[in-house]
Amino acid sequence: LHMRPQSLLNKLIRSNLVNTTNQVEVLQRDPTSPLYSVKSFEELRLKPQLLQGVYAMGFNRPSKIQETALPMMLAEPPQNLIAQSQSGTGKTAAFVLAMLSHVDPENKWPQCLCVSPTYELALQTGKVIEQMGKFYPEVQLVYAIRGNKLERGTKLQEQVVIGTPGTVLDWCQKLKFIDPRKIKVFVLDEADVMIATQGHQDQSIRIQRMLPKTCQMLLFSATFEDTVWNFAKRIVPDPNIIKLKREEETLDTIKQYYVICNSKEEKFQALCNIYGAITIAQAMIFCHTRKTAGWLAGELSREGHQVALLSGEMQVEQRAAVIERFRDGKEKVLVTTNVCARGIDVEQVSVVINFDLPVDKDGNPDNETYLHRIGRTGRFGKRGLAINMVDSRFSMNILDRIQEHFNKKIEKLDTDDLDEIE
Ligand code: ADP
């Protein structure tokens, strides 16, 4: 099993649309049919109530992935879709719009069913449905999540159901609150997070099997490994496929430094020396182990600095809360481990400290992590600063190899004389 909590974290903390200049890759089920893409929401001929909802949410025009995904999802007859793009690119808004467009408000039974991997995500997506449907009050929503207990024999009148797989399955099968044969649109969100949770994959497949052949199947994921892909193909027959690559990261706008120390304690001292300079902006500090991260956060607190600690032993929701506070600027410094923060997008960080340099399990430089951690996407990236702490010949060698790999000079920094870093 691949754990993908990062996708979940990114989703929980995302508040803005991610900009991208990359083009979507499209694989059509029927390659001879014309490929439509729209540049405005008007072109989609949405119900006026929904268009009003879209504009009330502050959306002016479709995001990159929505340009292609929306016409496909709204086409007649309905088309199935598998779509992959990083968190924040507009997938949720797209499928919510598709669900609401396909509802017949006269019919008082569930017609659209969306499953999310966690309770929190179901709530979050439910909120988007409520917001977008604000001017369409005939359409009602119900949450199929733990804690929502209905009387036996209930037949749901709400047209849209959002929930987690276990509860949704119960409501369809055991409790019969939902008649799955009447579902017209089925959405499976955050497929990568879904399959990382024991049992969810099975439950999702069992739900899918109860749906009619004519039901539109839509699946979304932030990442696409083989395991996700295999699962997607079982959920979505005859799919159209849309992928949107992440923006490439570069080191071009980053100033890179290193500091020579002799021990963990000296690294801490060096860090204290530059602390004032780095907290002008927001900083992330990476350590190799949980133990070091915990120790460092403790030492910094003892010095009177207010820092946040993000660690692998925390629950996903706890981690999301920490990142959210940091993103909102409640703490200026976040201490974390190499593993824990991999793949997490915190855009406004402009200072990165490698308290330990990133190495892979064989002790070789982990260039990819180094780049992802300090790199910025070319067009939108602000200038940034990276400081690497070197405490042995071993780590000096790692630094040299990173420098060579990217062919970008990493300058020596004297932390007793800080005029160099502006
Ligand atoms: P994803 O599901 O890919 O993570 P979301 O649909 O949650 O992305 O969108 C990410 C953020 O961008 C949300 O805050 C959402 O309200 C906003 N958003 C989505 N579509 C648009 C759009 N077309 N224009 C402006 N903002 C958008």
Note the pLDDT tens digit of each residue in 369-421. 898 888 766 545 567 889 999 999 999 999 999 999 999 999 998 876 666 55
Say what the pLDDT of residue 278 is.
Answer: 81
6 band by pLDDT with thresholds 50, 70 and 90? low
Percent of the chain at pLDDT exceeding 90: 66
275 Cα: distance to centroid of ligand 1 (angstroms):
35
Contact 62 CB / ligand 1 (< 6 Å): yes
pLDDT digits (tens, 9 = 90+) for 96-140: 999 999 999 999 999 999 999 988 889 989 999 999 999 999 999
Which letter, b or e, does each residue of 338-359 get, where b requires 16 or more Cβ atoms within 10 Å of its Cβ? bebbbbbbebebbbbbbbbbbb
Computed over every residue of the chain, the mean pLDDT equals 90
How much is the pLDDT for 1?
Answer: 31
Look at residue 420 in the predicted model and tell me its pLDDT: 58
Judged against a pLDDT cut of 80, whether residue 292 lies above it is answered with yes
Q: Mark out the alpha helices in 90-177 (DSSP H runs).
A: 91-102, 119-132, 165-172
90 lines ligand 1 (CB under 6 A): yes
Q: Which residue has better confidence, 345 or 38?
A: 38
Q: Which atom of ligand 1 is nearest to the CA of 93?
A: 6
- Per residue in 54-77, pLDDT (tens digit) is 999 999 999 999 999 999 999 998
How remote is the CA of residue 16 from the centroid of ligand 1, in Å? Answer: 6
Q: Which of 92, 130, 189 to mutate to test the pocket of ligand 1 (most atoms within 8 A of CB)?
A: 92
Q: Are 53 and 128 in contact (CB under 8 A)?
A: no
Q: What distance in Å separates the CA atoms of residue 74 and residue 76, rounded to the nearest whole number?
A: 7
How many whole angstroms separate alpha carbon 175 and alpha carbon 154?
Answer: 8
Q: Would you say the CB of residue 63 lies under 6 angstroms from ligand 1? A: yes
Angle (deg, nearest 10), helices 5-13 and 119-132: 40
pLDDT for position 345: 67
Whether ligand 1 lies within 6 angstroms of the CB of 89 is answered as: yes
- What is the average pLDDT across 1-17? 61
Q: CB–CB of 329/335 below 8 Å?
A: no
Q: What is the reported pLDDT for 360?
A: 87
CA distances from 414 to 150, 211, 282 (A): 66, 65, 21
Give the C-alpha separation, 258 to 237, whole Å: 52
The pLDDT of residue 196 is 82
Min mean pLDDT across 4-8, 124-128, 181-185 is at 4-8
Is the CB–ligand 1 distance for residue 407 below 6 Å?
Answer: no
Ligand 1 center–CA 221 separation, angstroms: 14
Q: How far is CA 8 from the centre of its chain?
A: 6
Portion of the chain with pLDDT greater than 70, in percent: 91
Look at residue 342 in the predicted model and tell me its pLDDT. Answer: 64
Whether 100 and 45 have beta carbons less than 8 Å apart is answered as no
| CB of 223 closer than 6 angstroms to any ligand 1 atom | no
| b/e 99-120 (16+ beta carbons within 10 angstroms → b) | bbbbbeeeeeebbbbbbbbbbb
Phi-psi region of 384 (alpha: psi -120 to 50; beta: other; left: phi over 0): beta
Q: What is the pLDDT of residues 332-382, one digit of tens each?
A: 899 998 777 666 666 677 889 999 999 988 999 999 889 888 876 654 556
Q: Which of 92-96, 137-141, 226-230, 379-383 has the lowest mean pLDDT?
A: 379-383
| The pair of three-digit structure tokens given for residue 300, joined into one six-digit string | 């910094």
Q: What per-residue confidence (pLDDT) applies to 86?
A: 86
